A and B are shown apart, each in its own frame.
Chain A
Amino acid sequence: MSGLEVVKPGVLSLLQDRGRYGVALQGLSSGGAMDLHAYGWVNRLLSNHSNAAVVELTMGNASFRATCDVKLALCGAEMAAKVEGVAQPNWQSFILRQGQLLELGYARTGLRAYLAVEGGFQVAKTLGSVATVTRNRLGGLRDGQPLQAGDRLPVAKQLLANFHSEVPKAFQGRYPEQLNLSLIESYQAPLFSESAKQAFYQGEYQVKPESDRMGIRLSGPVVSGLHAGLISEGIAQGAVQIPPDGQPIVLMNDRQTLGGYPKLGCVARLSLNALAQARPGTRIRFVPAELDEQSEKWRNFLRFFEC
């Protein structure tokens, strides 16, 4: 079957969908696209299913060649995409003709870009999902491995007609160097002292370079006062874990299912989309948020993207 061929996989290119569910009780991570905003739009531009398989590019520096005419779209981090040397803006659909090369540079703003094809990449699912979880050796084209040069990404259908589509400017992602994240207090929040919480909310943190799909590691004011290990419990998406060194870690898609470090609560789902695009060095502040208000916003997001 023809489609796209990976010429250069770049820093990290992974097949992703919304993730693998019903498997956490076996200790498996859900995986899935880190920024569901860019992921949602890239599929919507192509009228794809809201769980279609796309390529998540981290940092960029990748290239792909079409082995038949295909309709693609690119959303998320700005990687100065070019088709045969001609600039191809993000947040819109475009055609890549058979034999043409799509090249992406290193990310200029944001960290992760999503490349989708009309109908989604046709890849066999493992346990209900194509999501690549490297640490579980699951998903993608083979056993959780990132895409490699020479890999072929089959497409569902040959190009029929070119109806151009574009994300309205107001909804295109912007990836600033300073982020305010909404925090829903939960889990062990009542056990932290007022002064520890004050340090957390008043301080400014920076995204550390060793952040990955498991967790976004932050450095900044120490959150102290609760160093006893807890009985291990399930970790939710976005949980803010405070290990003994007092430096918060926001746990993301490839997180371990259980953990025994105290947690202050969870970063709100919409803020997690922004955090997924935060490059190392991005400055972070936390703002307390109301659960009901954030829940309403998240329901609206899911309704909009028909998830």
Chain B
Amino acid sequence: MTLRFEPVSETHCIVYLGEAIDPSLAESIAALAKALRAALPSALVEVVPSYTSLLLEFHPLRISRKQLERAVLEQYALLQSSQASGQTQQHTLTLPVYYHSEVGPDLDDLAASAGLAKEQVVEIHSQQIYTVCAIGFAPGFAFLASVDERIAAPRRATPRLKLPAGSVGIAERQTAVYPQQSPGGWQIIGNCPQLLFDPKHSPMSPFEVGMQVRFEPLSREQFIELGGQICLDWK
């Protein structure tokens, strides 16, 4: 895989590591982001990893674009040699989800259009291991790939104005949990009662790009016990 380093503005550069969405790319991008932050703690003011790229904001009085490019190439080479020797370790985050139409109003329709029983949709969704490919859209909103093709579903034609915090959605081959109440167009199939974004907490969110995530089905009783709430006014 070749790396492409491009200037973006006086203060930003972008590094491309691939051309297509691929969960394994997320791990390399996350590792590069982490290594660069450690290597350039004051010169690098912001890193924004995404599916195939890493946007870097640098302080132009502390590092030049050329120096930054050299650091990126250096760190990337180091990572490739450590990955080749198999030093990466994986941590999987397990998130509890209550899958039911009372917290997932699109579950029935999604199952019907996939030609599956609801139970099968739940099974397929909760058996997959996902990779956090990007965090964005809203604070702590983690894009997880890849959803099994059998339950992939398009975004809703009209986004909902208000989704409760914890809503678990599917959009094409991605899935995500809405960490805070927000508008949203993804197809909602359940709810995760765990708090997933809190700016007063460190870390603010359990997600990191490159991390693995799986979902564990909950009963209604367990959901309520964990503080889950049933939303009654879907709009």
Contacts and interface: CB of A to CB of B under 8 A. Distances in A.
B151 interface: no
Given A138-B199, A186-B6, A236-B57, A27 B50 contact: no
Given A27-B136, A28-B139, A291-B7, A237 B52 contact: no
A268 B139 CA distance: 27
Given A25-B135, A26-B135, A187-B14, A234 B6 contact: no
A66 B11 CA distance: 39
Given A27-B141, A186-B9, A291-B10, A258 B48 contact: yes
Interface residues of A, number: 42
Interface in A248-297: 256-258, 265-266, 268-269, 291, 294-295, 297
Interface in A4-32: 21-28, 30
Given A25-B135, A232-B134, A234-B53, A268 B10 contact: yes
A294 B10 contact: yes
Contacts of A148: none
B52 A233 contact: yes
B55 interface: yes
Contacts of B209: 25
A231 interface: yes
Contact of B140 (A26, A126, A237, A268): A26
Interface string A163-178: 0000000000000000
Interface string B29-48: 00001000000000001111
A190 to B, nearest CB: 10
A232 B199 contact: no
B215 interface: no
Contact of A231 (B6, B21, B33, B60): B21
Contact of B10 (A137, A184, A239): A184
A233 B55 contact: yes
B146 to A, nearest CB: 14
A302 interface: yes
14 contacts: A26-B139, A28-B199, A127-B204, A186-B6, A186-B8, A231-B52, A232-B50, A233-B50, A236-B9, A257-B135, A269-B11, A295-B60, A298-B60, A302-B61
For the complex of A and B, the 4 pairs showing the least CB-CB separation, nearest first, are: A234-B55, A234-B48, A258-B136, A266-B9
Interface of A: 21-28, 30, 126-127, 136-138, 184, 186-187, 231-239, 256-258, 265-266, 268-269, 291, 294-295, 297-299, 302-303, 307
